[in-house]
Amino acid sequence: MLFLRGAWEPETRVVTNMNWSEFFNMGGYAFFVWTSYALTLVVVIANIISPIMQRKKVITLIKRTIKREQLQKQNKV
């Protein structure tokens, strides 16, 4: 096996004065980076809101069922 010493060493760049514009530009990959962040945020928010909404629907359904059963018992008596 051939090992090349120093053939693949990562570049070490020190960024000293990065302004906000350069940060938000992300080295020219801003569209892909910020779209990824936005989609991730949408999925996280959906994962938080969806169970809450489902829980409310289930509770409403249970309350209706209980009320209907109580009315049926009253009508039989």
Q: Could you read off the pLDDT of 31-76 as tens digits, one per residue?
A: 999 999 999 999 999 999 999 999 999 999 999 999 999 999 998 8
The alpha carbon dihedral of 32, 37, 42, 44 has a sign of: positive
Q: Is position 29 within any domain?
A: yes
Q: Is position 9 within any domain?
A: no
Query: Structural domain of residue 54, as residue ranges?
Result: 20-76
**Amino acid letter, residue 75:** N
- For residue 67, the model assigns a pLDDT of 96
Q: Is position 55 within any domain?
A: yes
Question: How many domains does the chain divide into?
Answer: 1
- For residue 19, the model assigns a pLDDT of 83
Q: Is position 26 within any domain?
A: yes
- For residue 62, the model assigns a pLDDT of 98
Looking at the chain, the whole-number percentage of residues with pLDDT higher than 90 is: 56
The alpha carbon dihedral of 14, 19, 20, 23 has a sign of: negative
